[in-house]
C-alpha cells in the first residue's frame, strides 16, 4: 500500500509545473514604444472578454502598446482603465486569440504559502520562478507613489516581470507583480518582491470580491 502511494506521488507533476500549465494559455507579453524608449512587461487575460490585467507603470508612458498572446497572436492594445494608486491597468486588445482562456483568480494564502511568478524577466519570455509569501499588508514607496497592502514574496522577479501573475500552487492568480526592493537602488532582484493582491485588482475586470 505504501509503495503504491509513493508510486502515485512520483507520477504526479511538480506543483510548479502544474501551476505554470494552468496560467500559460492566459499569459501576455506587453511591448510599448514611446518617448524614444521601448518597454517590456507582462500581463494576463483576466476575464472571458479578453481584458488584460497588468501593472500601470508598464503602460503609463503614453506610447503605443502591442500585446502578444500565448498562441502567438499579436495585436495593438489600448488602456481601458487605470488605478494608479494600486499600480494597475486594464488593456483591451484590438484582436483576440481564437481561444480566450482567462486566468482563475483567488485570494492569497497565509505567510509561508508557496507562490510562483510567471513573466518575461529581462526579455526571457514565459519564465517561471518559485518562492514563498514572506509577508502580507506591506506598504512601499515607489516612483509612482505609495502602494499599500501588498503581498511580499521571494520568488525571483526582474524588469519584465511587472504586471505578471503571482500564482498559488493550483495556478490561481493571487496577485499582480508590481515592484521589487533593492537597497542598492538597482532594478534587480535581491530576494524581495511585491504584488498587488488580486482582491484589489479583480474589480477592475469585473471579477467578484475574493
- Concatenating the DSSP letter of every residue in 110-168 gives -TT-EEEEEE-GGG--SEEEEEEEEEEEEEEEETTEEEEEEEEE-S---TT-TTPEEE-
Q: In this structure, is residue 9 part of a structural domain? A: no
Residue 135 and residue 187 in one domain? yes
Q: In this structure, is residue 169 part of a structural domain? A: yes
Domain stop point among 93, 127, 145: 93
Residue 188 and residue 143 in one domain? yes
Residue 58 and residue 138 in one domain? no
Grid coordinates representing 200 are 484589489
Q: What is the pLDDT of residues 115-133, one digit of tens each?
A: 999 999 999 999 999 999 9
Give the pLDDT confidence score for residue 7 in this predicted structure: 56
Give the pLDDT confidence score for residue 210 in this predicted structure: 43
Give the pLDDT confidence score for residue 191 in this predicted structure: 82
Give the pLDDT confidence score for residue 125 in this predicted structure: 95
Residue 125 and residue 174 in one domain? yes
Q: In this structure, is residue 36 part of a structural domain? A: yes
Three-class SS of residue 82? strand
Q: In this structure, is residue 137 part of a structural domain? A: yes
Residue 33 and residue 75 in one domain? yes
Residues of the chain with pLDDT under 50: 209-210
**Phi and psi (nearest 5°) for 4?**
-65, -40
Give the pLDDT confidence score for residue 35 in this predicted structure: 63
Where do the DSSP E strands lie in 16-144?
A: 27-34, 37-45, 52-55, 64-69, 74-83, 88-93, 114-119, 127-142
Spacing of C-alpha 84 from chain mean position: 16
Q: Which residues are catalytic?
A: 57, 87, 162
Q: What is the pLDDT of residues 131-176, one digit of tens each?
A: 999 999 999 988 888 999 999 999 999 999 999 999 999 999 999 9
Q: What CATH number corresponds to the domain at position 199?
A: 2.40.10.10
Q: Give the structural domain span for 63.
A: 22-93
Residue 73 and residue 141 in one domain? no
Domain stop point among 93, 125, 141: 93
Global pTM value: 0.89
Number of domains in the chain: 2
Q: In this structure, is residue 99 part of a structural domain? A: no
Q: In this structure, is residue 174 part of a structural domain? A: yes
Give the pLDDT confidence score for residue 124 in this predicted structure: 96
Domain stop point among 39, 61, 93: 93
Residue 127 and residue 197 in one domain? yes
Residue 77 and residue 131 in one domain? no
Q: In this structure, is residue 122 part of a structural domain? A: yes
Amino acid at each position: 500500500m505504501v509503495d503504491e502511494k509513493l508510486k502515485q506521488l512520483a507520477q504526479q507533476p511538480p506543483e510548479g509545473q502544474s501551476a505554470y500549465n494552468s496560467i500559460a494559455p492566459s499569459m501576455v507579453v506587453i511591448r510599448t514604444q514611446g518617448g524614444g524608449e521601448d518597454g517590456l512587461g507582462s500581463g494576463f487575460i483576466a476575464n472571458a472578454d479578453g481584458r488584460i490585467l497588468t501593472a500601470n507603470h508598464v503602460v503609463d508612458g503614453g506610447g503605443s502598446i502591442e500585446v502578444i498572446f500565448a498562441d502567438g497572436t499579436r495585436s495593438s492594445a489600448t488602456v481601458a482603465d487605470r488605478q494608479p494608486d494600486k499600480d494597475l491597468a486594464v488593456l483591451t486588445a484590438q484582436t483576440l486569440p481564437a481561444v480566450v482562456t482567462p486566468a482563475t483568480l483567488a485570494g492569497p494564502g497565509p505567510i509561508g504559502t508557496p507562490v510562483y511568478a510567471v513573466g518575461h524577466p529581462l526579455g526571457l519570455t514565459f519564465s517561471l520562478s518559485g518562492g514563498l509569501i514572506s509577508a502580507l499588508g506591506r506598504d512601499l514607496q515607489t516612483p509612482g507613489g505609495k502602494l499599500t497592502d501588498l503581498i511580499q514574496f521571494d520568488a525571483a522577479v526582474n524588469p519584465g516581470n511587472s504586471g505578471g501573475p503571482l500564482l498559488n500552487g493550483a495556478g490561481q492568480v493571487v496577485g499582480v507583480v508590481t515592484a521589487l526592493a533593492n537597497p542598492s537602488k538597482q532594478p534587480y532582484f535581491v530576494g524581495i518582491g511585491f504584488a498587488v493582491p488580486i482582491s484589489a485588482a479583480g474589480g477592475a475586470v469585473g471579477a467578484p470580491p475574493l
